[in-house]
A and B are shown apart, each in its own frame.
Chain A
């Protein structure tokens, strides 16, 4: 492969502005990770308006920094306070906090930082080689392939998202329906606009993302969910000992590979990979009883895996234009708002952006490693800022910020409406993630489906006659049918385990 664009990408990252935004992104990400409540998707959604005015590559470098920075930030609260700041750091609580109670918080944080760095780096290297390879197939991706890919992506995200699968699929359908509002590309006619000029253009992504994730979470947290902050554990020795490192080297290696692979899968991503890495470490261990009582591998594996996955989940986005999880959906939206054509041709058409973003992750990971340990004390102090003070400020940033995108008061109305929807969804047990992802992919899916049907002359079975779309659809059917098969098998094996509603879809 040709390395010139890769090196040019480094030149892009090393521009002072980009370095600065990378640093800002990573620090904001760590902060967000530390503060329970707002996740990276919400933060990136809230910061979307800021990115409009800056160069696309700079904007995405910052947003990416927030994403992988948050993976590390979440670790700190998991270890010190037993409060996972991020879903992907939940398993870290098991052994991380146990270590902290033994006075080895520093060891846990140090191992997590090193593991995160290695996992992230392994993923970037693999991304560097894999992405152009995938882009080589770009021309084989026609409307049928995009139809299959978008379907599979939405289904996988709905399947592995938290909570009921049935509800996740419903949320996805609502997202797809919302995406049809506006002018129909094929006929130029308006759909579901009710004669409203503000809707003729379709619903804008930014207010939806900011409303569902940003305001929705703030309103949800308003309902007396303040957690009493426990006294943070003391940090004594910051650097892990040699024996700790030796003990966790295997876990870091396995975590890197596992995280990378799961991150690529749509719907995979950081949370799932950290769970899987923990399970793998425990099963492989000769002394599984140590897990939960401060096993270093129990921190190293998941932390490595979640960072590796955070990085590799950029692969489907940057090579195919398919976001693998909700956060990627928000970043996808940011790219669209910037006018970047995300898709298989991105790496050839806009190598500066592509390699700039990829290479910024090396720098970002180095920054994380350098800053994380000395800044731990600071972050612990930040935890004491009362959520009651942060909430109104975040609300105002959202309301004023969404206005600045299109200078439109209608967008403020939209963000409030979707904030209410986001709150009600959480209340009723719906995860808003699949809705947003489906909304982002909605027009791609519909347009591709209609183009495919035109090309196939109405023959829906022709999807299966093309190798790529056929394979993707076969996987799609497998995922749809798997829970049914599994529940049938479980029922036969043991009748005592009740089948919960989760397994009905």
Chain B
């Protein structure tokens, strides 16, 4: 067939052309590495990965900060949601990015000190650089007003196994409740949901008896009387919810907090980290950002990377020992 000959001839010609052009290539991006370090951020945009759904607290924090950092550095800063596995997917993606400061992530403390208890494949914070701490968030145990539960004792006296909603496997929401119910000797089944908002909806609708949710996400409903707060899992009563006892006060030793920090891929040059850190510091000073923290019941925790690394590592050790003590299995396959 003549057609075939033609195809072959064209393919040969095409290949020759290709070779010539690839040798002469200059302006393209094929296989080329980009210069890094000296003039960060240049005019390249910055992406902040978020391992949670849009609209959740982590996402809102990232978006709030992205604005300030963008103003300071003069390049666009976009937030990219990559939800799944409590942020492990986003962390995995971050690890594979170029260490040039153009891809960052808002990393949740729970991924560093709780998820490893549930899943040994969880990412290790030693594989990342930490730019700066951001803020702390407390967990609160909530129930629907008509559930008839208002204290931990009520739950123990329910006379049936209770169901509790968690914001996912290996989250602070799960750990806080598992620890509480183990210590209070309550027969309870965990029902994992995908994030704070669906968990909240399930508690509101009475689909599960109780749920542990980050304070900022539940505060509005608690104040409106749509949800009752049973205990908070903070060490001391958070100023945003001062009339609710902490679990520690109720006699259970289960302080669990969510902490957030900005992570960069490992081996990001120091001067880039420094530039980023000062840009975030400027963003933290912004009045709008501080009002945002207030509104969402977030406590500022703008410490440096080393301190974050230290706290999170000791948290992990501590939780590992209590979980072993009570024989709690956070993984779903009990």
Contact = CB atoms under 8 A, between A and B. Distances in A.
A196 to B, nearest CB: 13
A447 B166 CA distance: 13
B92 A189 contact: no
Contacts of B122: 188
B204 A139 contact: yes
Among A138, A187, A338, A344, max chain B CB count under 10 A is at A187
Contact of B194 (A138, A345, A447): A447
A188 B191 contact: no
A39 to B, nearest CB: 30
Contacts of B208: 455
Contacts of B118: 187-188
B192 interface: yes
Contacts of B92: 197, 200
Interface in B69-122: 81-82, 84-86, 88-89, 92, 96, 115, 118-119, 121-122
Contacts of B193: 451
Nearest to A143: B207
Given A141-B205, A142-B202, A183-B85, A454 B169 contact: no
Interface in B300-334: 331-333
A142 B205 contact: yes
A202 interface: yes
A1 interface: no
A414 B189 CA distance: 39
Contacts of B194: 185, 447
B121 to A, nearest CB: 7
Contacts of A182: 84
Contacts of A187: 118-119, 169, 331-333
A280 interface: no
Interface in B193-232: 193-194, 197, 201-202, 204-208
A182 B92 CA distance: 14
Interface residues of A, number: 32
B54 A185 contact: no
A151 B115 CA distance: 32
A187 B82 CA distance: 18
Contacts of A338: 54
B163 A188 contact: no
A349 B191 CA distance: 24
A183 B99 CA distance: 26
A339 interface: yes
Nearest to B118: A188
A183 B55 CA distance: 22
B180 interface: no
Interface in A320-357: 338-341, 343-345, 349
Contacts of A188: 85-86, 88, 115, 118-119, 121-122, 169-170, 331-332
Given A183-B84, A187-B169, A341 B192 contact: no
A411 to B, nearest CB: 14
Contact of A454 (B84, B189, B333): B189
Contact of A341 (B53, B82, B88, B204): B53
> Chain B's interface: helix, strand, loop or mixed, by majority?
loop
Given A185-B169, A186-B169, A187-B331, A340 B119 contact: no
B190 interface: yes
B84 A202 contact: yes
Contacts of A55: none
Interface string B261-295: 00000000000000000000000000000000000
Contact of A457 (B161, B170, B332): B161
Nearest to A455: B163
Given A201-B84, A340-B54, A455-B163, A185 B192 contact: yes
A369 B204 CA distance: 45
Contacts of A447: 194
B119 to A, nearest CB: 4
Contacts of A183: 84-85, 88-89
B168 interface: yes
Nearest to B96: A197
Nearest to A338: B54
Contact of A142 (B82, B86, B168, B207): B207
A184 interface: yes
A341 B85 contact: no
Given A188-B115, A188-B119, A188-B331, A140 B205 contact: yes
A189 B119 CA distance: 8
Nearest to A184: B332
Contacts of A184: 332
Interface in B150-167: 161, 163
21 contacts: A139-B201, A182-B84, A183-B89, A185-B85, A185-B168, A185-B169, A187-B332, A188-B86, A188-B121, A188-B169, A189-B119, A189-B333, A197-B92, A339-B55, A341-B55, A341-B197, A343-B201, A451-B191, A454-B191, A455-B189, A455-B207
Given A187-B119, A454-B191, 9 more contacts: A142-B206, A143-B191, A183-B85, A185-B168, A186-B192, A187-B331, A188-B86, A197-B92, A339-B54
